[in-house]
Amino acid sequence: MAESLVLTPPATLLKAVPVRNRGARGRPIPVYEVVRRQFSQAADLMELDPDIRRILATTTNEIVVHFPVRMDNGQIEVFTGYRVQHNDVLGPFKGGLRFHPQLELDEVRALATWMTWKTAVARIPFGGAKGGVQIDPARYSRSEIERITRRFCFALGDNIGPEYDIPAPDVNTNAQIMAWFLDTYLSMRPAHERQSAMHVVTGKPLESGGSAGREKATGQGVVFVIQRWAEEHGLDLSKATFFVQGYGNVGSWTARLLQRLGARLVAAEDVTGAIAKPDGLDAEALAEHVRRLGGIRGFAPAVDHESFLATPADIFVPAALENQITGATADLLTVKLVAEAANGPTDPDGDAILRRRGIAILPDILCNAGGVIVSYFEWLQNKRSEYWELEEVDRKLRCKILTAYDRVQDAARQRDVDWRTGAYMVALGYLEAVYKERGIFP
Ligand code: NAD
């Protein structure tokens, strides 16, 4: 889980092995270009109003900050952080904070844009944003990560706010980091405003105003949509097999929840390598192994990346980074369904290959929306000073994400398009309607 990555640096326990996301053929398409192509394809097909198209094709604000932090050895390091706010016509900007050594502005733009589509597909009153720090968290101590987080929050200043832009956890960040972020933000407010600003971040620890069910929410949402897809396609999940790329928050929760339904985890991959066991890996024990050692390596026999992707199974759950299923790798997959738990795991070349080969895709902006849906529930609970029990959160999440599933399915059927394009049409059609009602100031 992200917790162990950040708070128990895996580098001290396991030497991270970079995992390739490219095969011998082809180069991955830059991730912001992926978003542009997906957007253009849907906008063309649905004949999106050209004015609305120009608005949605660009981001609203792009904030780049450079900030100094004192390291444990007394020296100062300067870090680069980003917050891109894509669109807020539906509500406050909303999106995660990522700590990653290769994070750059174009990737944050792409991730922010996907958030706008995702909240529109799920019909929650938020816009799209994303941010993070270009940093390899495994190289820093817990106290350094805390100071980096706090100083990043300070550098963002009034560019975030509980009714304006609300961060949450993403790759290599977690509830602890959200607690530090919250505490720093509140410390910067006048005393009389502090109690009413708890909803400035979501994905907080329960004790600090978090919601029941938020930690597992993204994985839970992935499992709800997989369940629905399996029912509709005659796949008995109690006999199904699956494999997962990424065993952090989203990947490990998806695996554990699918296992509880009887499905068998047959392979997994993270930044430390890939492992496989055709008669089944215990998803709970693997999560515990990752918590203790910082990665999956050593839990079961290792396999190379190509063999991992070629694992015979019913379902593949990419839950790591973008651009994993590309023109170079999509032919390796032999599954029935790709459930996109990560953001942007499939590029347009990979997409075309999967479609040609009859492999179904539950697209990211639908499949992983559970996280932002329960973030919305957390935000509401904070605003109302309420606490919802887990059963209530799960019930409401299931209802919201399956309604979005039906919406996407209807759009794909009506327009005779693939599900990703259908999901885009749902999102863009909704945003277009809102813009037309409200008009453009002045
Ligand atoms: P995390 O940091 O908890 O886990 C990331 C996992 O991916 C780790 O196991 C890491 O080792 C692995 N990984 C990183 N690079 C890899 C590579 N090159 N090859 C294989 N594995 C690699 O992050 P997370 O919160 O679980 O996020 C995972 C994905 O889900 C991201 O795409 C994120 O944007 C998306 N997502 C997260 C949430 C959320 O609520 N956390 C919500 C929606 C979408």
**Amino acid symbol at 436:** K
| 230 beta partners | none
What is residue 83's predicted lDDT score, i.e. its pLDDT? 98
Instruction: Report the alpha-carbon distance of residue 8 to residue 373 in Å, rounded.
Output: 29
Percentage, residues of the chain above pLDDT 90: 93
Mapped onto helix, strand or coil, the DSSP state of residue 369 is coil
**Amino acid symbol at 203:** G
Q: How far is the CA of 194 from the centre of ligand 1 (A)?
A: 32
Q: Given ligand 1 and candidates 170, 303, 325, which is best to mutate, with the most ligand atoms within 8 Å of its CB?
A: 170
- Give me the mean pLDDT over the 136-149 stretch: 98
Structure tokens at 211: 């919601």
Each residue's pLDDT tens digit, 144-177: 999 999 999 999 999 999 999 999 999 999 999 9
Each residue's pLDDT tens digit, 375-424: 999 999 999 999 999 999 999 999 999 999 999 999 999 999 999 999 99
What is residue 28's predicted lDDT score, i.e. its pLDDT? 75
In sequence order, what DSSP letters do the residues of 267-324 get, joined into one string?
EEEETTEEEEEEEEE-HHHHHHHHHHHSSSTTSS-EE-HHHHHT---SEEEE-S-SS-
> Side by side, which strands form the sheet with 273-281?
302-303, 273-281, 264-270, 241-245, 315-318, 337-339, 360-362
Q: To the nearest 5 percent, what fractions of the chain are helix, strand and coil?
A: 50, 20, 30
CB 421 within 8 A of CB 409: no
Of all protein residues, whose CA lies closest to atom 23 belonging to ligand 1?
171
* Residue 290 Cα: closest atom of ligand 1: 9
- Give me the mean pLDDT over the 85-112 stretch: 98
Instruction: Report the alpha-carbon distance of residue 331 to residue 318 in Å, rounded.
Output: 15
Residue 26 has pLDDT above 80, yes or no: no
Structure tokens at 121: 């597909």
What is residue 44's predicted lDDT score, i.e. its pLDDT? 98
Q: How far is the CA of 178 from the centre of ligand 1 (A)?
A: 16
- Give me the mean pLDDT over the 5-15 stretch: 34
Indicate whether residue 342 lines ligand 1 (CB < 6 A). Answer: yes
Residue 15 has pLDDT above 80, yes or no: no
Indicate whether residue 427 lines ligand 1 (CB < 6 A). Answer: no
End-to-end CA distance of the chain: 47
